[in-house]
Amino acid sequence: MKRPRKRGASVAVIDIGSNSVRLVVYEALARSLIPIFNEKTLCGLGREVQSTGLLAPDAVDKALTSLKRFRALCRVMQVGRVFAIATAACRDASNGPDFIAKAERICAVKIEILSGPREAKLSALGVISGIHRPDGIVGDLGGGSLELIDVRGNSVRSGVTLPLGGLALQDLAHKSLKRADRIVREAIDDVDLLTAGRRRTFYAVGGTWRALARIHIIQSGYPLQVMHGYSIQAAEALDFARRLRRLAAANMLADIEVVADARRPLLTYAALVLEHIVRVAKPKTIVFSTFGVREGLLHEKLPETERNKDGLICAAEELNQLLSRSAKHARELIAWTDRLARVVKLRETEEDRRLRHTACLLSDIGWRVHPDHRGEQTLSLVVNANFGAIDHRERAFVGLSVFYRYAGLSEENQPPLTMQELLTPAQLERARLLGAAFRVAHLISAARPGVLPATHFRSQGRNLMLVFEHRLGDLVADRVGSRFKQLARLIGRSGSIVRR
């Protein structure tokens, strides 16, 4: 019987932003954050702060009502610990302290009002949490402000904050796009930090930029609907941003149904800011991150040993523990494929090895699905999984490796072409090879621990041998032999089974 997972107490973050007020509850404070509840209300707290200096009364009432519900939800869900933060609108408005006092009484927790530099740092930590070894400029666009900060691996430099959030910009420009264009140009041109972004990645954080990504995904017919890790070449992003401005000028943004009504008017301002950032920073790629301030806040609270773990491996271990028949077998499969890679001298980068280990951890998570649909269903589960530290190409590689493990390698049973096209021919061939290895390993062991360590690989000339210890001799069968020969052919060898 599978032992129950050891879970810590759940944690929640109440995020009082300039546009939205949100509650996110996570299963536990861990390296791989698993959201179990997520709700937002678009209150528009910051829509008049630049012109009046005040949080609008109706927005305040709406936000306080939402906070009452959020506090009740935390009680119902028995959340272990609640953290609360507030951003630009609350720090800039003269009635911000009064609102925060009322909000703290409702939430029964201390609310941290983030300074601009603090918000920038947490955004960067969120990207570090959700992107594997990031290198570039993080831009967090909220309703009230834009935070910019340089990140290299786990290193975060000092950041800047600008009053260019969608609501703030709309307010400053009095809803004039021509005036907004001038405001953004003057602000962005003065940011020296952006010159460090040349030929690097720009990480776009924030709900309105995610809405832009959603529109681009739909319009381009892209095969994945996952926002996190979606990337666009900078030149294409620039063209897309300008196209959105033309649509706005023609009054055609109202037809974009995939974006919430309250966020739709801010799309043009978000596109305008992105356009000027690309113009000045000249990045190579735009990558959209759903990991931001909230995830950065929790990442900061982890012990250093946890922060330094690989977020993808941690997420795969969670799914393995939850869905596979034996967590120990998956770890043995990692060691088994390690031995195979050494014996056949498989050329692997560190990143190739990381993805192979991830695929091993996920290779048995579809066993409960009907056999006729395990391949496609598990592929969908992997490529759409709610975890970070993986880009879309890597999702496709891991997903297709597990697909081939279940569906086989025959020409009649192939994954969607759109998914295959995310990989190069060499990457696709490596996914097929890994899937073939899984088919041998799971057939030998029936996904039970203790079997794979008793099998070994030997290489003799062009012949690859799979050697069974004497006590496992009865596991050898024609089906095992044919699958192993198929694996050997993919490596460019002949294959044979040996009993020792």
| CA pair distance 485, 439, nearest whole angstrom | 12
What's residue 246's pLDDT? 78
What's residue 4's pLDDT? 45
| CA pair distance 293, 296, nearest whole angstrom | 5
The SS3 call for residue 248 is helix
What's residue 1's pLDDT? 39
What's residue 438's pLDDT? 98
| Token code pair at residue 60 | 């305040």
What's residue 250's pLDDT? 60
| Residue 146 burial class via C-beta count within 10 angstroms: exposed 0-12, middle 13-18, buried 19 and up | buried
What's residue 470's pLDDT? 87
**Under 8 Å between Cβ of 120 and 48:** no
| Token code pair at residue 27 | 């299963």
**Eight-state DSSP code of residue 500:** -
Q: Give residue 145's Cα distance to chain centre.
A: 23
What's residue 365's pLDDT? 97
Q: Which amino acid, residue 48? A: E
Q: What is the mean pLDDT of each run of 10 residues along the chain (500 residues)?
A: 62 97 97 96 95 96 98 97 97 97 98 97 98 98 96 94 95 93 95 95 95 91 94 96 77 56 79 96 98 98 96 97 96 98 96 98 97 96 95 98 96 91 96 98 96 96 94 92 97 93
Q: Which residues contact 255 (CB under 8 A, 6 or more apart)?
A: none
What's residue 256's pLDDT? 57
Strand boundaries in 125-197, DSSP class E: 135-141, 146-152, 155-162
